[in-house]
Amino acid sequence: MKNLFAWIVLLSTLQCTLYKEYKPSKIPSNHSAGNIFIITTDGFRWQEVFSGADSSLINSEKYTPDTASMKMLYWAEDTDKRRKKLMPFFWNVLATKGQLFGNRKFDNKVNVANLYAVSYPGYNEIFTGNTDINISSNQKKENPNINVLEYLNNKPFYHGKVVAFTSWDVFPYILNTKRNHLRVNSGYEKINEASSAQEEIINKVQDEAVYDKTATRYDQLTFLTAKEYIRQHQPKIVYLSFGETDEFAHQGRYDLYLEQANKVDGMISELWHWVQTTAGYKDNTTFIITTDHGRGSRENKWLSHGEFIKGSSQAWLAIIGPGIKPLGEIKLNEQIYQQQIAQTIAHLLGENFNSDQRIAPAITLR
């Protein structure tokens, strides 16, 4: 593990349902983006996004072995201070320049529309704009549904400029790269034809420093791989998927779950800063940030999620970019579903996503 972190430090220094009727909505003229970055962090609850650390969990030695240290890092009695300690980018930058949806304390709801509230169905919904009753588990099987990434990649303007970097190794099946040949780097997959010293080191880290390769790659390796590729090739549509928040929650380690959420916030902050200081991306890129599902809300249920665990369908959404009004935390009584994200991605690029299935209308952005 020490060797892995040493490699990562070196790498870092080298890098400076539910719609009764589906109607195609008009492409909005007041929102436009030259580039779209879609970012997800698996199984991260809306409760922590909007309220910071959970009092019952951060004070539980069962889930937070070193409660004193974790409380010094992430606890405050005031909700606003607490959530800023956990996710400073979200609440110092995104909340002042973008929009955040899903704080159910204000009846602002974001939900999955699929029945199952597990990862594969959630990601299918996000990218295809619909649910599929036949996709009910995380089994590695080719997704028969057309997704918005491949739809855009088939457009001449975006062809070859659509990429995905994911920690979880199921995404080649979710996005069906066998059918569409999307460029997807997933799990501990090597960077083929590494063209820079950084990429060669990343491959070396994955080969030599990571001994226990699970289905989910370390998020920081996913991030470094993605950032180096973006720096070199400047794609227009990027999907970046983090997975360790869900992994640590399933392990019952609330302390590590909080730490990883804080790291994800930091990586998004670093990427946003890079975008806003890079020609071609500056003031021309929208970030859409969300999760694939929620989790149980009770102390003994937060570890898991699924069809029969209350709270599992509850999600959240954040967006920042050109043309997005800086409204911050949305406190209106409204309902958004994840299946609306696919068409929203298309509309933000001035496109209209069409496939052989019904597609939910885009989110109405103010």
Domain, as residue range, for 53: 2-348
The two three-digit tokens of residue 199, written as one number:
């990429």
DSSP string computed for 234-259 = --SEEEEEE-HHHHHHHTT-HHHHHH
Q: What is the pLDDT of residues 176-220, one digit of tens each?
A: 999 999 999 999 988 776 667 777 777 777 777 676 788 999 999
Q: Residue 362 falls within a domain, yes or no?
A: no
Residue 82 sits in a domain whose CATH number is 3.40.720.10
Segment 299-317 shows an average pLDDT of: 94
Q: List C-alpha distances in Å: 162 to 36, 149, 229, 256.
A: 10, 7, 12, 32
314-315 sheet: strands from edge to edge: 314-315, 108-111, 334-337
pLDDT band at 15 (very low <50, low <70, confident <90, very high): very low
Q: Residue 365 falls within a domain, yes or no?
A: no
Q: How many CB atoms lie within 10 A of CB 29?
A: 8
Q: What is the pLDDT of residues 95-134, one digit of tens each?
A: 999 999 999 999 999 999 999 999 999 999 999 999 999 9
Q: Residue 132 falls within a domain, yes or no?
A: yes
Spatial distance between the Cα atoms of 340 and 327, rounded to a whole number of angstroms:
20
Q: Residue 360 falls within a domain, yes or no?
A: no
Q: Residue 199 falls within a domain, yes or no?
A: yes
The two three-digit tokens of residue 313, written as one number:
């369908």
Q: Residue 256 falls within a domain, yes or no?
A: yes
Query: pTM score, two decimals?
Result: 0.91
Q: Residue 361 falls within a domain, yes or no?
A: no
Q: How many CB atoms lie within 10 A of CB 273?
A: 12
Structural domains counted in the chain = 1
Q: Residue 353 falls within a domain, yes or no?
A: no
pLDDT value at residue 210? 78
Residues 6+ apart with CB under 8 A from 254: 54, 57, 58, 60, 63, 64, 248, 302
